[in-house]
Structure 1
Amino acid sequence: MRALTVQPPQAGSLALSELPDPAPGPHELLVEGVAVGVCGTDKEILHGEFGSAPPGHSRLVLGHESLGRVRQAPPHSGFVPGDLVVGVVRRPDPVPCGACGAGEFDMCRNGQYTERGIKELDGYASELWCVEHDYAVKLDPRLEHVGVLMEPTAVVVKAWEQIHRVGERAWFEPQRVLVTGAGPIGLLAAMRGTQLGLDVHVLDRVTSGPKPRLAHALGATYHHDPVDVVSARIRPDVVIEATGAGSVVFDAISHTARFGIVCLVGVSSQGRTIPVDAGAINRQLVLENDAIIGSVSSNLRHYRQAADALAAADEDWLRGLITRRLPLHRYAEAFETAEDDVKVVITLNS
């Protein structure tokens, strides 16, 4: 079979490799790869900034945003050939820590978790792959063209879950959400906000193309003014920060409504400094009972909720998120940034 592989931490080592077909274990599904999504984490691995191969191997099969169709399934697994499935990314650590032992492996305390296509486990960017049936989630068959959005949707669903858990420490009826960044995570967060019945605002620097069009199609308000101006105007109850840009993060924190919650899902680059009035931020957080939380990864519960969220979404809108689809033999183009990119997908069966 063909698979996209890298040799971490060597930059520029991406290759289309020929590997033996996988043999499923007694508790595994054999899956025909349909597609994988490309995200910033994949590009970091490609640039040698992140990632690790399975123990005893020099190369890692890339791809954590999966979509496939079951070819073989063990009896009583709950799956049958033909099922459309996504493989969960993270696996609990072997100790396990308390969080992993409770099934909350997205909150691993000791960092010994592994992740498909990222950390010590081969990913899903191959024509065939295996996955434990306990770490596979079935999708509605009509999501064949958009189901590759499942993993980022699971990240978004978790972020919203965390926001509600924090908010419910007291009376909590949010009205307005500001999403900063109109990439896949930001737009999916906006989609989820509309599903929750909120007044959704999306902010991005881009003024034309698919991003504002997709935001408007949700019924959201699209902004491209500076974040402090927009935040001061709308006073959001919730901010989901998906850019990772330091200045955006702190401007968003400084202009929420009282009891505001800022959820950080964008990862910032290190080594960049900005002037910050830490005293003013501290004063606001304390006097207004505000909260700042970080959220990353997702567990099985979030994947199952994401499957429901995608099934409830407008399929044409979801298709609009995928701005480029490339066959496997044109894999290199998928890692090149195009001006109007939102989500780039590599198809594995062509």
Structure 2
Amino acid sequence: MRAVTVTPGVPNSLRCDPDWPEPPAEEGAILVEALAVGICGTDLEIISGAYGEAPPGQERLVLGHEALGRVLEDPTGTLRPGDLIAGIVRHPDPVPCSNCAVDEWDMCRNGRYTEHGIKGLPGFARDRWRVQPKFAVGLDPALTNVGVLLEPTSVVAKAWDHIERIGRRAEWKPQTVLVTGAGPIGLLAALLATQRELSVHVLDRATSGPKPELVRSLGATYHTSPVNELDFEPDVVVECTGAPVVVMDAMCKAGPTGIVCLTGVSSGGRTIDFDAGALNRALVLENNVVFGSVNANRRHWELAAEALARADQEWLNSLITRRVPVGAYAEAYAPGPEDIKVVLEFAT
């Protein structure tokens, strides 16, 4: 069968192996036919050699952590043949730590977790894959065209879950949300904010292309000015760019008792002139909270599946700006200037 693989740590070693071995039974009881995998910046960084870890004893890593497939067989009876399914990316560490022991593997404390297509587990960019029932998430059949968005949606479902948990520290009635960045994570964060009937603002540098209209069709407001020039103080900020200046400005912009969730990952190596003392004073005196969020556990995946099922399917489909057949896999991993989400298709 076909599999899209790399040699971790070796730049530009991407290839499609035509005779990759069938998934062994120890990977999981549920056998799945791959329909598609979504591509994100993590995949591109692995291809560049920045990181990535093959399974023990193997030289190459199968890519793909944003999965969509159909069940071929499930002897456990958890799912039925033909069911639409996604595989949870992260698995708990073998020790396990206190969080992994209670299935909060997204909050792993010792870093020994594994991740499909990223760290120590083969990914989903292959014709067939297997998954354990515990890590299999069924999807509404109506999501056949957009279910590949489940993994990024799980990331923002977790972010909103934690925002709301923090908000319960006091009487809290948020009204205004600022999302910085209109990539897939930012747009999905805005979607979940509109589902909470909040006033949503999305900020991005793009002045043309699909992003402004996607934001407006949510009923949200689109901005291209710097964060510090906005004329309102949001109750919630979901930062999705990782750009240092935007991160700092977002932390400063939140209103009193505001909550800032950082989901963008900075590359590091860049310093900026910044008044850290003034930020400290504002955070303390206004009871603000800044926290980071990444990955998701099963509860968040299920929340994400519910959110996608409630969303406008045409709008979700518009997030997928390119669908590339696996035979042209190299094109899928070459980002275009107006790409939002690119999907590599294995079957239709």
Paired position in structure 1 for 2:6: 6
Residue 237 in structure 1 maps to residue 238 in structure 2? no
Matches within 5 A, 1:131-150: 131-150=131-150
Alpha-carbon distance in 1 for matches of 2:236, 2:28? 42
- Match of 2:317, SS? helix
Paired position in structure 1 for 2:281: 283
The percentage of counterpart residues that share the same residue type is 58
Q: Is the Cα–Cα contact under 8 Å of residues 83 and 141 in structure 1 kept in the other structure?
A: yes
Structure 2 gap segments, 5+ residues each: none
- Match of 2:153, SS? helix
Q: Over aligned residue pairs, what C-alpha RMSD do you find?
A: 1.0
Alpha-carbon distance in 2 for matches of 1:259, 1:216? 28
Given residue 248 of structure 1, which amino acid in structure 2 is its aligned partner? V
TM-score (norm 2): 0.98
Q: Is the Cα–Cα contact under 8 Å of residues 28 and 130 in structure 2 kept in the other structure?
A: no
Match of 1:333 among 331, 334, 337: 331
Alpha-carbon distance in 2 for matches of 1:295, 1:108? 12
Paired position in structure 2 for 1:64: 65
Change (3 A) 1:26 1:111: closer
Moved over 6 A (4+): none
Alpha-carbon distance in 2 for matches of 1:266, 1:204? 13
Paired position in structure 1 for 2:159: 159
Q: Show CA shifts across 1:133-174 (max 9, x none).
A: 110000000100000000000000000011111111111111
Give, in angstroms, the shift of residue 247 of structure 1. Answer: 0.1
Paired position in structure 1 for 2:181: 181
Match of 2:313 among 312, 315, 336: 315
Number of residue pairs the alignment of both structures matches: 347
Given residue 33 of structure 2, which amino acid in structure 1 is its aligned partner? E
- Match of 1:34, SS? strand
Change (3 A) 1:20 1:45: same
Q: Is the Cα–Cα contact under 8 Å of residues 190 and 202 in structure 2 kept in the other structure?
A: yes
Give, in angstroms, the shift of residue 75 of structure 1. Answer: 3.3
Paired position in structure 1 for 2:293: 295
Q: Show CA shifts across 1:80-106 (max 9, x none).
A: 100000000000000000000011000
Paired position in structure 1 for 2:84: 84
TM-score (norm 1): 0.98
Structure 1 gap segments, 5+ residues each: none
Q: Is the Cα–Cα contact under 8 Å of residues 99 and 105 in structure 2 kept in the other structure?
A: yes
Paired position in structure 1 for 2:56: 55
Residue 346 in structure 1 maps to residue 344 in structure 2? yes
Matches within 5 A, 1:242-281: 242-281=240-279
Alpha-carbon distance in 1 for matches of 2:47, 2:186? 23
Q: Is the Cα–Cα contact under 8 Å of residues 27 and 74 in structure 1 kept in the other structure?
A: no
Change (3 A) 1:26 1:124: closer
Alpha-carbon distance in 1 for matches of 2:171, 2:240? 26
Paired position in structure 1 for 2:222: 222
Paired position in structure 1 for 2:105: 105
Q: Is the Cα–Cα contact under 8 Å of residues 163 and 261 in structure 2 kept in the other structure?
A: yes
- Match of 1:338, SS? coil
Paired position in structure 2 for 1:37: 38
Given residue 127 of structure 2, which amino acid in structure 1 is its aligned partner? E
Q: Show CA shifts across 1:283-313 (max 9, x none).
A: 0000000010000000000001111000000
Alpha-carbon distance in 1 for matches of 2:140, 2:238? 28
Give, in angstroms, the shift of residue 329 of structure 1. Answer: 1.1
